[in-house]
Structure formats: C-alpha cells, structure tokens
Amino acid sequence: MGYYDETDLRNENNDHNNKRYNKGRRGGSHVLTGFIGAVIGAVTISLVSPNLINTTNESEIGNENQTPAQVINVSREDVTSTIQTARKFVVGVNNYQSSNPFSMDTQEAGSGSGVIYKKVGNKALVATNNHVVSGAKQLKVKMADGKLVDAKLVGTDELLDLAVVAIDAKYVTNVANLGDSEKINVGETAIAIGNPLGFLESTVTQGIVSSKAREIPQDIDGDGVADYQTQVIQTDAAINPGNSGGALINAKGELIGINSSKIAEQSVEGIGFAIPINIAKPVFDQLEKFGEVTRPVMGVGLKALEEIPQFNIEESLKLPESVTRGAVVTHVDPGTPAAKVGLQQLDVIVELDDQPIEDVIAIREYLYSHKKVGDKLKVTFYRDGKKQDLTLTLASSN
C-alpha cells in the first residue's frame, strides 16, 4: 500500500488525463528536416483556464521600502482550540484498486488526506489531490472519528493536482472556513493537518509561511521536461507522505492551502508545499459543475527558442540578433484558433497581448492567469525575420 505524495506513479487508468496534456504530438514537415528533427516532441498547447491562477508577483521579504507584514498573533489556548476544530474537517482518503484486470475485487492501494470544504444538500464535498484518487476503482473516506464511509469521485484536475470527492453529509459535523491566501504573510503561523503514513490520523504540525508565492516546475506527463510552473505556499510545517490533500490553515483556523507535496531528498528538511486556496477554489467550482476543468486552446505545438540550435535559428528562422527568447511553433492543428488566423509552423512567438514571452512555460502561465475560453488573444511573432501580429479567439479544449 502506498502513502501518496508527489512522487507516486500514475496509474494506467488515468490515460484520459495524460492524453489531454500529451506533448508527443507530431510536428514538422518535409521542409527543413534538420530543424524539425530538433523540435520533435514539442509541447502541444491545448490549454488554459478561466482565470484559474493569479500569478501577481509580490515582494515577500528583504525590501527596505516595504510596509512590515502584519503577522497574526494568537495565544496558545486559541491555537489549541483552533486545531481541535480543524481536525474534524480533515479526513483520510483511501484508494482501492483491482488486484488484477480480470477480478472485480479491490484492495487498498494507497491513502492520502482530504478536507471537507462544503455541504450541498445531502452531500459533503471533500478536496484532495488528483494523485491520491488516481486509478481508483473505489474510494472511501475515513472520518475524524475513525468511521470509514463510501465516497464518489466528482472530478479531477491533473494539471493542478486537485480532485473533489463526495460523501453523505450526515457524517459531517465541521466544514472548513476558506481563508484568503493572498492576504497571508511570510512569517505567520502555518499549521498542517493530515494523515501521514496512512495511519497517523489527524496529525498536526506547526511552522511558518516561508513563501506565499513560490513557483515550482511540474512535469505533468513524466517526460522529464517541465510543463508548468505551479504557484504554491512554502512552509516549514512537516508534510510527509500521506499528508497530500490535507489542510494548511492559519492561526485563525482558516483553510489557506491544500497540502500537495514534500521535497523528498534526504538532504532537504523543513520544506513543504500547499496549493493556495485562492487558486484551488475556482478549480473546485468547475469540478463540482462539470467534473473537469475547461481550458482554452491555441491549437499549436511549441518549443522554447533557447532549445533550438543556433545554426537553425540563423538559417531557418532568420531572426534578428536581438531576439533571443520566445517559442517556436512546431505545428498547427487543423481547425484550431491558430489555424483559422493563419499562424504557421516556424513562426516564433515573442509576445501575447503585448506582453513579452520568454518560453513555452511563460505562455502557459499567461494563458492560465489571464485568459478563458472565448477571449481574444493578440499574438506577436516573427516569420522569416519579420515581426507580425495576429489576433485569435481561444477555443475550448473539450
């Protein structure tokens, strides 16, 4: 049995999600064979969300002109009372899978944590991580009192590693009070609650907020190349295997994050991460309504300009010497927004809506932060050394 954290293997039954973020798209043509060979395996941008992420960068520490952070101070008695209340809305999430493809029998394959964040009619909704529920044939939730109850998967989002499951509301006495992760400050109290190792239920660890907006590269499809920079809260509160999906709360007991991962190197201690609740909540809203997150698409495959050999840049792309960062279009999918406006293979995208774009990850970050399906997107690019603009309408990935 596994204790789920960020290093868990994806189950083959999660093929649908993997295909949505497949980077092994076919690209290239018979023209410029050497160059296209260098860009095969480029990332397909079938992306982005309706304002799912606010990536506004703020100075956190070390700025002499910055107004000192207002850190929440509470008494030991208040913290103890807060923790006792919070432990009642943090649960275990058990993942049961078939022992073999020819049997209907299941056995527990792993466990993680979850947070009861809403009651809707006779249902209660539990937030957890996608990798905690991945591949499950059956799910059960272990309540704070030890009762094991049946759970149903509502929806998952592989990209942000989030999921929602539902249980009968009759078992629920406490629901998390959602905080505002934009208003937290470096140095204030952070309390992590979860079920590490699968059997240490309602374990509480306390630390501080080490960073409110750390960016961690994520390899979604496991090909060794980062697909996206995930914005997370960094804390030194201990987060161990099995804590994934549990709660990160502040001293007032407000849910400020969903614990997601821990750097597992032996040389690293005191570094844990949580998905900020302001980022997670819009995802939960979509999962509740649709079972998945709808993201707009451009309909192109891309590769970072800095990954292209200099010879190809000079001979094939004919870029000005001043252009050193951007994303090369490796292919354009037929019928997509990019195809409709005439974007072509070997175009080098350097700006979106007049904002400089340095690489493929930056394109994702811009789209995830600022765009939704149906929005107009101005694309500035170089073609045969000449700078041009096109405006496309982002479509749905579904």
Residues tagged active-site: 131, 161, 244
Q: Element (H or E) spanning 286, and its range?
A: helix 277-290
Strand runs labelled E in 186-251:
189-194, 203-218, 228-235, 247-249
Q: Which residue has the tokens 């954290």?
A: 5
**Can you state the percent helix, strand and coil of the chain, rounding each to 5?**
20, 35, 45
Is residue 10 within 8 Å of residue 274, measured between CB atoms?
A: no
**Cα-flanking dihedrals φ and ψ of residue 120, to 5°?**
-130, 105
- Is residue 120 helix, strand or coil? strand
DSSP state of 50: S
Contacts of 384 by beta carbon, 8 Å cutoff, 6+ apart: 318
Q: Which residue has the tokens 């999906």?
A: 245
Whole-angstrom Cα distance, residue 259 to residue 256?
A: 10
Expressed in angstroms, the distance from the first to the final Cα of the chain is: 34
Amino acid type, 281: K
Is residue 253 within 8 Å of residue 157, measured between CB atoms?
A: no
